[in-house]
Amino acid sequence: MKFGGTSMAGTERIRRVANIVRAQAVGRNGEANEVAVVVSAMAGETDRLVNFCREANALYDPAEYDVVVSSGEQVTSGLLALTLQSLGHKARSWLGWQLPVKTEGAHAKARIASIDAPDMVARLEAGEIAVVPGFQGITDEGRISTLGRGGSDTSAVAVAAAVKADRCDIYTDVDGVYTTDPRIVAKARKLKAVTYEEMLELASVGAKVLQTRSVGLAMKAGVRIQVLSSFVDDGAALADDLPGTLIVSDEEMDQMVERGEMERQLVTGIAHDKNEAKVILTRVPDKPGAVAHIFEPLADASINVDMIIQNVGRDKGETDVTFTVPQADLARAQALLEDRREEIGFNRIITDSKIAKISVVGVGMKSHAGVASTMFRALSDRGINIQAISTSEIKVSVMIDEDETELAVRVLHTAYGLDAEE
Ligand code: ADP
Ligand code: ASP
Ligand code: MG
């Protein structure tokens, strides 16, 4: 079971969570369940800690950033263990370094390499509830690491895989995965099931209900994920009976469609992402190797580049190159590029954080034409200007002005026939 930030925000909420966890552990008809719980920091806490790091040092050392930002989960894991104990249930916390959750790769966006938890498994079997702080792990050098924002979902799936759980229930503040963010579109519809492939794509383009890596890991390890809400009345049904959203394989989806439980749609969902920034390098030499010079240093610094456009060359063998990076990495990216101004040979560097990426996702596009043109037409009818486009087999994304995000998502939701009936 995993509980997100809003579910853990304060003593009262944690008490509710403890009740849900205890009910699941006690089970039905005397059939107890072994339960490991992964928790997030209280809502807003990680943002607060990130700000402290920025104030301390704008170009912060990611290893020390991890020390600071991982602390929010340490607090909530201890508090949930204490609350479970106060309800009379055996419980203890297992910090990332204690379990241990071994990670590899860059600090602040580390990947889980392995979880080997024989001690925790033994205590689970003895009926003790394990409370694991999400988001954190330990590097080979014995330093604290974190998994990137939203990483507690990935911690939960990794723990579920490590203990071979029957299911990984992700409790959040909405009762499932919707056709788009239900906080933006009131007519969004809850989906009974989504395939791993579509959920992976939706998450990677901004549907933050699940962290992208958690879905990739679940797909690989065959972990059954259910998304559901922790905001339920006391004494409500166990997760086994709640109508959340299941993340399923293609085969399972086919069976659901055959049984008439799901309908096939061309577009499954729409996501938006306001966390990227646009970088334009002007008058880059239009010759072999120029683009490699730009992107190599960014890759070496583990900065993810997303949309890339290189204009056709203009006079004097020069061209403009536009791309997006996560806003959190913009300052570092800009500094790296400035340092290499001579080598790359650009004239100006222009940045813009006021952009958004809007994406439509669906496996139906593999076999149907016209999905992109519907998108372009619907946006142009509302006067929304498209600054860049990128596509994959099951997705079309456009970059637009950030102020038009909500309007664009609503317009597209209607254009693809996803609105719930009144
Ligand atoms: P948690 O703190 O529980 O991890 P998050 O804030 O990370 O919760 O994720 C839940 C939020 O994801 C919801 O409140 C909702 O606004 C947002 N969201 C975005 N896209 C979707 C979607 N397609 N379906 C459901 N929720 C979505
Ligand atoms: N607390 C971390 C964050 O806000 C991890 C998580 O909640 O999933 O990003
Ligand atoms: Mg989250």
Boundary of a domain, candidates 244, 261, 278: 261
Atom 9, ligand 2: residue with shortest CA distance: 149
The verdict on 158 and 292 lying in the same domain is no
10 CA from centroid of ligand 2 (Å): 16
Best probe residue, ligand 1, of 154, 177, 181, 200 (max atoms within 8 Å of C-beta): 181
Q: Are 380 and 369 spatial neighbours (Cβ–Cβ below 8 Å)?
A: no
Ligand positioned closest to the Cα atom of 49? 2
Q: What is the pTM of this model?
A: 0.92
Q: Are residues 270 and 132 in the same domain?
A: no
| Helices 371-381/405-415 angle, 10° precision | 130
- Kindly state whether residues 277 and 248 are assigned to the same domain: no
Centre of ligand 3 to C-alpha 210, Å, is: 6
- Domains held by the chain: number: 2
Which of 149, 154, 173, 209 for mutating ligand 2's site (highest number of atoms within 8 Å of CB)?
149
Ligand 2 atom at minimal distance to the Cα of residue 135: 5
Res 234: pLDDT: 58
Please say which residue of 223, 240, 261 terminates a domain: 261
159 with 38, same domain? yes
> Domain check: are 318 and 277 in the same one?
yes
Which one-letter DSSP state was computed for residue 31?
A: B
User: Would you state the pLDDT for residue 315?
Assistant: 72
Mutate to test the pocket of ligand 1, among 174, 175, 270 (most ligand atoms within 8 A of CB): 174
User: What whole-number distance in Å separates Cα of residue 3 and Cα of residue 239?
Assistant: 13
SS (H, E, C) 278-336: EEEEEEEECCCCHHHHHHHHHHHCCCCCCCEEECCCEHHHEEEEEEEEEHHHHHHHHHH
> What are 241-293's pLDDT values in tens digits?
777 999 999 999 999 999 999 988 899 999 999 999 999 999 999 989 999 99
For 60-118, the pLDDT digits (tens) are 899 999 999 999 999 999 999 999 999 999 999 999 999 999 999 999 999 999 999 99
Residue 368 shares a structural domain with residue 254: no
Q: What is the pLDDT of residue 88?
A: 96
Q: Is residue 241 located within the same domain as residue 270?
A: no
Instruction: Tell whether 223 and 269 lie within a shared domain.
Output: no
| Per-residue model confidence (pLDDT) at position 82 | 98
Domain that residue 141 falls in: 2-261
Å from CA of 5 to ligand 2 middle? 7
Per-residue model confidence (pLDDT) at position 43: 98
My answer on whether 87 and 21 are in the same domain is yes
What's the CATH code of the domain at 11? Answer: 3.40.1160.10
Question: Which residues of the chain are under the pLDDT cut of 70?
Answer: 233-240
Q: Domain ends where: 228, 261, 294?
A: 261
Q: Answer yes or no: do 40 and 96 share one domain.
A: yes
Here the CATH number for the domain that contains residue 298 is 3.30.2130.10
Q: Are residue 333 and residue 346 in the same domain, yes or no?
A: yes
Q: What is the pLDDT of residue 239?
A: 67
